[in-house]
Amino acid sequence: MHPFTLSKAIDPASAISAAQDPHLAFIAGGTDLIGLMKDRAALPERLLDINGLPDMDHIEPTSDGGLRIGALARMSDVAADVEVRRRFPVISESLLFAASGQLRNMASMGGNIMQRTRCPYFRDEDGLPCNKRQPGSGCSARYGLNRTQAIFGWSDDCVATHASDVAVAFAALDANVIVHGTTGERSIPFTEFHCLPGNTPERDNVLRRGDLIVAIEVPARIEGRASYYLKVRDRQSYEFALVSSAVAVAVNTGRIMSARLAMGGVAHKPWRLIATEGELRGLSLSDVDALKAAIATSFTDARPLAHNGFKVELGQRVALRALQIAGGRA
């Protein structure tokens, strides 16, 4: 790795102030940042270790009945938390289907949603053209090997997908990212946190310089208990998603009262199936043809690349099965 200095953050205010420096990066679990530094895809001159910041690793109820998950809570602890498992199984499952036991013990929740794409061109040690890594250099994946890349929302400048699993669950549940910055605290709706690539693919999310993620808040959801995360990948375990789906559903006498669906592995951000959610309301969970038709409404604007056309069909099947399994839990 390149040389850098490291210091420890004492309190959020001094961390935010220090991070006005564009060459400084926060480090928590380090499981993504250290890999990026080894691949020279991130070259910060100064690291600020935020692991010692107080009260940022708790999982606690919020006043409105939701859950507040501290940004420094580890993936393992959130996945194993009894309240998370009981009220939002989709959060626990999406974490357990990610990475390995060792990495989940290290990786923080804030770092998880900040992780950068697994696009092999972005991670390439030889520095192939990548607009995310070197703006203006081009996108090697657009006309290269793009089997794992996006089918929704991509641009000619970037076709990468977001790699986080739990981010898909948070998007489905309309969670909020709680951020401290120079102007105080603000709450960012999860579905607005990550960006589409457009012509600035180097920008993954809407955070401003110095912003510190302190927590993710999940509002109380009647759909939370009947929720499920389905992940399809090239091997059964310890692999990123080809396609995944987080579904949470409220059911009354076999009919869908409300449904929330998001997909992973298909776009630069977790992809909500908003049109489908509207179409599903009132449908019987046993009317498979109607469920399929409702899901298809969100796939009419899919734009597959040369090698990932299979994701259009696979995505609809994954969404359907996740919906059926979640519905079976209602």
Partner 1 sequence: MQVSVTVNGSVRTLEVEPRMTLLDALRDELALTGPKKSCDRGECGACTVHIEGRRVLSCMTLAVMHDGQRITTIEGLERHGDLHPIQQAFIDYDGFQCGFCTSGQIMSAVAMIEEAKAGWPSAATTDVSQSFSVSDLSDAEIRERLSGNLCRCACYPNIVDAVAHVTRRS
Environment class of residue 329 by beta-carbon count within 10 Å: exposed (0-12), middle (13-18) or buried (19+)?
Answer: middle
Would you say 251 or 305 has its CB closer to partner 1? 251
Site string for partner 1, 131-160 (x = CB under 8 A): ------------------------------
Stretch of residues binding partner 1 (CB under 8 A), selected from 14-22, 84-92, 134-142, 244-252:
84-92
Compute the residue count for the chain: 330
User: What is the nearest approach in angstroms of partner 1 to the Cβ of residue 173?
Assistant: 16
Q: Which of 18, 21, 40, 103 binds partner 1 (CB under 8 A)?
A: 103
Hey, what's the torsion of the CAs at 164, 271, 241, 226, to 10 degrees? 90
- CA dist 115 and 296 (Å) reads 30
β-pairing verdict for 255-264 and 271-272: antiparallel
- Residue 178, number of CB atoms within 10 A of its CB: 20
- CA dist 160 and 270 (Å) reads 12
93 touches 322 (CB < 8 A): no
- Neighbouring residues of 148: CB distance < 8 A, sequence distance ≥ 6: 118, 119, 120, 161, 240, 242, 265, 308
Stretch of residues binding partner 1 (CB under 8 A), selected from 83-91, 261-269, 271-279, 299-307:
83-91
- CA dist 115 and 162 (Å) reads 8
- Kindly tell me the sign of the dihedral angle through the C-alpha atoms of 103, 240, 165, 290: negative
Stretch of residues binding partner 1 (CB under 8 A), selected from 72-80, 141-149, 187-195, 213-221:
72-80
User: What is the nearest approach in angstroms of partner 1 to the Cβ of residue 35?
Assistant: 6
- CA dist 174 and 109 (Å) reads 16
Which has the closest alpha carbon to 313: 235, 238, 242?
Answer: 242
Interaction of residue 47 with partner 1, rule CB under 8 A: yes
Q: Which of 85, 203, 307, 321 binds partner 1 (CB under 8 A)?
A: 85
Would you say 97 or 271 has its CB closer to partner 1? 97
Among positions 187-246, residues that touch partner 1 (CB under 8 A) are 225, 236-238
Site string for partner 1, 269-308 (x = CB under 8 A): ----------------------------------------
254 touches 284 (CB < 8 A): yes
Q: Which of 59, 76, 141, 162 binds partner 1 (CB under 8 A)?
A: 76
User: What is the nearest approach in angstroms of partner 1 to the Cβ of residue 55?
Assistant: 19
β-pairing verdict for 46-49 and 5-8: parallel
Would you say 63 or 237 has its CB closer to partner 1? 237
User: What is the nearest approach in angstroms of partner 1 to the Cβ of residue 300?
Assistant: 32
Interaction of residue 314 with partner 1, rule CB under 8 A: no
Contacts with partner 1, residue ranges (CB under 8 A): 1-6, 27, 29-31, 34-35, 37-38, 47, 49, 51, 76, 79-80, 85-86, 89, 92-93, 96-97, 99-103, 105-106, 225, 236-238
